[in-house]
Structures are given as C-alpha cells and as structure tokens.
Amino acid sequence: MNTAEHVHFIGIGGYGMSAIARVMLEMGYTVTGSDVARAELSEKLAAKGARIYLGHQAEHVQGADLVVYSTALSRDNVERRAAEDQQIPILHRAQMLARLMNAGKGIAVAGAHGKTTTSSMIALVMEICKLDPTYIIGGEVVNMGTNAKAGKGEYVVAEADESDGSFLQYHPQLAIITNIEADHLENYDSDFNKLKAAYVTFLSQVKQGGKAFLCADDDNIQEMLSALQAEGSAVVEGELVTYGIDRDADYRAEQIELGDRKASFDVVYAGESLGRVEISVPGRHNVYNALATIVTCLAAGLSFDQIAAAIRQFRGAKRRFQVLGEVDEMLVIDDYAHHPTEIQATISAAKSTGKRIVAVFQPQRYTRTFFLFDQFSRAFSEADEVIITDIYSPAGEQQIEGISSGKLVEMIKTNSNPNTRYIPTKEEVQSVLAGEVKPGDLVITMGAGDIWKAAEHLAEHLRDRARS
C-alpha cells in the first residue's frame, strides 16, 4: 500500500467502487474516476477531492499508477484498453478490496442474504464503541450517511461477495457466513456444489488464530459443518463458532419478540444468558443479523453491554426495509430483496406492522428467474396483494425462452397468492398505486433493479396529496 499513488476507478459511481475509492481518498491516495452518468455517490467523492469524469475516454487514465475496474465493465472498455497499452497495473474491484482488508484485521461478511445489514451493524457498533474501523459496505448506513470510511483502527469491515467468486481474494481475521443458497449459479457452471465448495475455500482462508461465525440454522451450512468435522476441520485454520435460533449453537437468540419495526431477544451462550438486546429494525432475519454482529464484536474485544447499547442505535442501511414515506396511516417501504428467501423474510417483517401488505416485486436477471422460478412462485403467500413488473435485466444479458413476468404471475397465483397481477413498468406501478393506496396500507417495493424509484415517487405523491 503506497498512498503516494494515483488510482483511477473505471465505473466509480456504483456502491462497491465508490466505497473503495472513498477509503483510498481518505487514506491519502490521489483518486480519479469515470462513469457513464453522474451519481450521488460520485458527487460526494468529488466534494472530497476526487476528480470525476463523465463518460469513458482513453486520456482519463493518463498519469495513473493503478487502475481499478468492476465486474460490470466490458473487456473492451476504452479506458481499460488504454491502461493495458500503457502497461498500467489493472486490478478488479475485489482485488483492490482484498489489498485493503488483508493489510489489517479483516472482518468479511459472506452469505446469500444479510451481508449489507450485518456489515453495517458491525461497522456502526465498532464506530460507536471507539474502535474507529475502516468499513467498505455495499449500501449506505443510515446512521452514518455513507457506505465507507478510512478509520485509524485495526479492523477493516467489508462484504465478501460470492456472486462471482471474488470473496476468495480475502484472508480475514474474522469471517461470517450468514447463509448459503443456490444463487448466481451462472458463475458456477450451474452447479450448486461448486458454490458450496467455494464457501469451504473461503473458510480455509481465515487467518490462523482467527474465527469464523456460521449460522447453525442454515441447512447448507450444517451440511458444510458436517463435512468439515468428518475430515477433522484440517482445511480450516481458525476457530468455527456457531450462532442461531432453532438449532443447538454456541450462541443463541431466545425469548424473541417481534414488533412494528423493532425486535428484542435474549443472547444465550453455553446455556447462560448474556443479557437482552433491542434492535430498531424488524423481522426474524434481522435477529440473525444482529446475533452475527454481537458474536463478531465480542470476538473483537467489546463487552456485551457495549454492544447492546450501540446496536440499539442502528437505523438500517439504505434499501434495506427503508421507510420512504409515512402519510395518513399509509406506509411506503423499499427493500433490496431479490431472492425468494429474502422476499419471504421482508414480507414477514412487514406483517409485524399490522397493515395490509401490497408487495411490488421487480425480478432481476433472466438467469436468476430461471434457476429460482418455482421458489419465486411460492414466496408471496403472506402478502395481501402482489404486483409483478417486467424483469430488470442488465445490459448484455440474453433472454431465456419461456421465462417472463407474465408466466411468473400465473405461477404465483397457483402456488402462493391468487391476488397477483402484472404491471409492466415502474411508472405504471406508481400511477396505479397512487390511485389505489388507502389508509392502513403498506406498500413495499422489492428488487435489485430500479423499482425503488416507483416507491420514492409514490411517497412524494402521498406527501403532496396530504399537503394539498
């Protein structure tokens, strides 16, 4: 790590890239970056001293000592080609993050769901408790108004992304696996066993003397634990610690109470209660996220009382059950849920408000919809009404014959919720709901695409209507 270097980021406006850029800027690096459009995160970087270019041009890499790119970038990008021609070292985003994490005491949060919320909780607890961590998170932490910071402490908190295998770049001191599910299989030769094997490799890279925290309630993690125990765990240098609710585990959450946008539970270790915890985010899934945070922060040397006081202040991460508007007993919430398990957990959390649930889902990627079609069709039983939009597909993805939102709607009607309809665009969703939503309703938009825009516009419409 040489802070005298000039680092250029191709595609700097995304959450992952902007977070790394922000940390490096705060560490003293000269940072430049480019993107196809100005975004809020890149504007914040510009305000802190980064030079941001609109569009991609070869001359943007001039003078750079290092170029960083993301998975979304095409191989023939003009700036990437220019860097290759000029023999400037080029790193994938994950490789750059690995440099930052592996240089300190890395805390890597992996899993199909819960990565952003759990890493956000850990970062906030450590920040409040004066550990001054560096953190690089895939979503803005509401309390802190940012997704990244270069701290002066020894810990580096980050998400470990399994989607493209990039989490295998990391050698953390503390690792968390929240759950394992069959997602992103297009990057694992459509073979779930290869994805599960990647998690074992990830565990094997925990530093000697470190710890890995695994959710005992997840069936795929249980299978992995059984396999590791059968071979004597020789593949893992660090200590394996389990947490959970339903199964036997080293740390358990008991006496759980779920309420309207909150939850509380006792933390039990080796049969003894450590105390009670209250969190200001809803749902059983957030009990798991909080429990993972607690065991991680205990391993980092914080006391239970310190952690319990700090975690109560957590107000969530952007696009994670984010309240966008509450007007005349009508509530508008947005969530990043894009997998069947996440959808079920999010709707279940919404039910704790006691309101009538209108669930709006924008599927993302034809490949994910194809692999998880049946699971998606069974994920909406707890909603009172369901709206499905067109599939949000990234540039370059090929359509898959027979996979469509219209077909998904028919399957949802058959398998989980007959009160389901197809509304193609987010603009139409916003218009329809503006005319239909009534007091006592909770509208929740879900998806990894741009469906959040419909929720924002609906919330603003309700506020305007109330003012007039």
The residues annotated as belonging to the active site are 115-116, 159
Buried b / exposed e over 292-310, threshold 16 CB at 10 Å, is bbbbbbbbbebeeebbbeb
* Inter-residue contact 82 to 58 (CB < 8 Å): yes
Q: Which residues pair with 457 in a beta bridge?
A: none
Structure tokens belonging to residue 343: 């959808």
C-alpha 224/C-alpha 238 separation (Å) is 15
Structure tokens belonging to residue 200: 């074992």
Phi, psi of 22 (to 5 degrees): -65, -45
Among 34, 39, 41, 40, smallest CA distance to 18 is for: 41
C-alpha 18/C-alpha 41 separation (Å) is 6
The conformation of residue 397, written as its DSSP 8-state character, comes to: P
Residue type at 30?
T
**Residues comprising the chain, all counted:** 468
Beta strands 105-110 and 155-159, pairing class: parallel
The conformation of residue 185, written as its DSSP 8-state character, comes to: G
Q: DSSP secondary structure string, 41-87?
A: HHHHHHHTT-EEEES--GGGGTT-SEEEE-TTS-TT-HHHHHHHHTT
User: CA-based Rg of the chain, rounded to a whole angstrom?
Assistant: 22
CA torsion angle 320 325 326 327 (round to 10): -160
Structure tokens belonging to residue 398: 């090929």
In 328-437, where do the E strands start and end? 330-335, 356-361, 385-388, 420-422
C-alpha 265/C-alpha 253 separation (Å) is 6
Structure tokens belonging to residue 141: 């932490």
